[in-house]
Structure 1
């Protein structure tokens, strides 16, 4: 198990920005740098930025690599179910992929009565709703309870920082977001992907609670899995070993501690109004350790630590050189 001492050499090697002027079509996301290339491909560089409170609050060593490699683990293990957008991984933080026409529908698959956002079934259920996303829910369900069956809860794809909105199959089809055949295919793919994820997670002592999938269309109109898959940013995991005991006791399930730095900040200020305190190195390194432990728990593999003697952007540029005519670092 990797310790914070093992990660100390990486404290000065974080990827805060990954702007490469020689590459065209650049746009900056909260944590990823994206490049739409003239030939229709897309380059995605995962930085180490940590976004919270509507801003980037710090950078966590190895975070970008962790999330890229967790997605790689799952893309590799689900390509027999659904083709995905991956072309190559030029660097541990980098994905070269197909450019796709992204569907206007995000598909969320759920196995439990859980969630915290306004579009989660638990929030709606607590507010008294019993019909959601085209499903009828029985009375008496408890927070974090296993649902009678796995369900799809689609939402609109929130472009330009908009908000997701609840959808039903009827609204998707009648509103022209997808054809009936497309929705049937996407539904089947999402349920099959989730079943694979649930099976492999169970082998690692984890419960895959719910997850979001993003699909797109390639130039021939085929449905392709895009974005990421089964990462802790797009999915909820609980630890299976303690779930039953904690559920019966009315306690929240044990899950990955992704909000470690968020809690540290909120204990010291109002992050939406105050200037943020400087986050100590030991706190950032503990967050890095947590991210690495997430990779190792989900995949069952040791995390491949990169050499700690080269700035990450220099390494990225060096690894991209065979793919693109970049200037030397």
Structure 2
């Protein structure tokens, strides 16, 4: 997956699809060092090559969003980040992570559009007839997913299944927090001429039982961002959904791979286009 970095005072303990986790060599220190790599994933596969500067770009964006949502408890911890990863790492509290990806959809697209075409629903939730790819939903939907073990695919689940996993009170808390954060973030994006079509959040509990927003937040990897002007004037899905995320990668893979075996290597132009869109999103949001 990745080669562990030699970071003085820290020991590599885990690598996910796109992030690496380090723990302090001092066992009395309960913080974690979460390092974002340049790896890129799609359809639950890690792809080659990575996206240059992706780790730094998405860490910058996460930090910016955490600052916009400073009243929402999060996983950030105090302390100095080692120089070798200063631009792409966050110091985080050690949390008891909940096994639910909290997906919020404000627009009909992606896997939701495929399901709607087949059954008129998104994650089992009935929607009005006559919607098209890229349409705004009547209201944002909370459509959770079960966080599958490494190497397995995440699974869309119902709210009732979420209750089974974490209990009724916690499930309602996750739903309400996710919808509230999405609504705030979508308004911020809209003021910058951007549409936040959908996103996913992860939450964990600290030692006092406080629910905290964790991992990356509202990045180009965990969200779909579209150009608002293109969405309003476009006549085809491609024109409407001028995206600032890794949809370029998804689209290329979908056209060149049947999701069997090892994914193909991404062409240089797809890598360059994706990196450029990541940078443009940050420029537009944070200007």
Tell me if TM exceeds 0.5.
yes
Give the alignment of 1:183-222 within 5 angstroms. Answer: 183-222=171-210
Larger CA deviation: 259-268 vs 147-156: 259-268
Distance 1:21 1:251, change over 3 A: closer
Distance 1:122 1:59, change over 3 A: closer
Cα separation, 2, equivalents of 1:200 and 1:179: 32
Q: Alignment partner for residue 160 of structure 2, among 151, 164, 170? A: 170
8 Å contact 2:16–2:150 — kept in the other structure?
Answer: no
Cα separation, 1, equivalents of 2:129 and 2:258: 38
8 Å contact 1:206–1:237 — kept in the other structure?
Answer: yes
Distance 1:124 1:259, change over 3 A: closer
1:266 deviates by 9.0
Q: Does 1:113 align with 2:108?
A: yes
TM-score by length of 2: 0.82
Cα separation, 2, equivalents of 1:273 and 1:132: 27
Structure 1 residues 133-171: Cα deviation after superposition (integer angstroms, max 9, x where no partner): 4x3222222221111111111111222232222222222
Give the alignment of 1:250-329 within 5 angstroms. Answer: 250-252=236-238, 253-256=241-244, 258=246, 287-300=274-287
Cα separation, 1, equivalents of 2:258 and 2:191: 40
For 2:20, the equivalent position in structure 1 comes to: 33
Cα separation, 1, equivalents of 2:242 and 2:263: 32
8 Å contact 2:52–2:275 — kept in the other structure?
Answer: yes
Q: Does 1:73 align with 2:68?
A: no
1:33 deviates by 1.8
Q: Alignment partner for residue 127 of structure 1, among 118, 134, 150? A: 118
8 Å contact 2:221–2:245 — kept in the other structure?
Answer: no
For 1:235, the equivalent position in structure 2 comes to: 223
Structure 1 residues 63-99: Cα deviation after superposition (integer angstroms, max 9, x where no partner): 211000000010111121x200011472111111011
Aligned length: 274
Q: Does 1:151 align with 2:141?
A: yes
Cα separation, 2, equivalents of 1:159 and 1:274: 19
Structure 1 residues 17-75: Cα deviation after superposition (integer angstroms, max 9, x where no partner): 55226522522223322113433321111222344683441243322110000000101
Q: Does 1:101 align with 2:87?
A: no
8 Å contact 1:36–1:99 — kept in the other structure?
Answer: no
Q: Does 1:20 align with 2:2?
A: no
8 Å contact 1:19–1:33 — kept in the other structure?
Answer: no
8 Å contact 2:104–2:200 — kept in the other structure?
Answer: yes
1:108 deviates by 0.7
Larger Rg, first or second structure (1 or 2): 1
1:125 deviates by 1.0
Q: Does 1:57 align with 2:48?
A: yes
Q: Which has the higher contact order (CA 8 A, sep 6+)?
A: 1
Cα separation, 1, equivalents of 2:136 and 2:65: 24
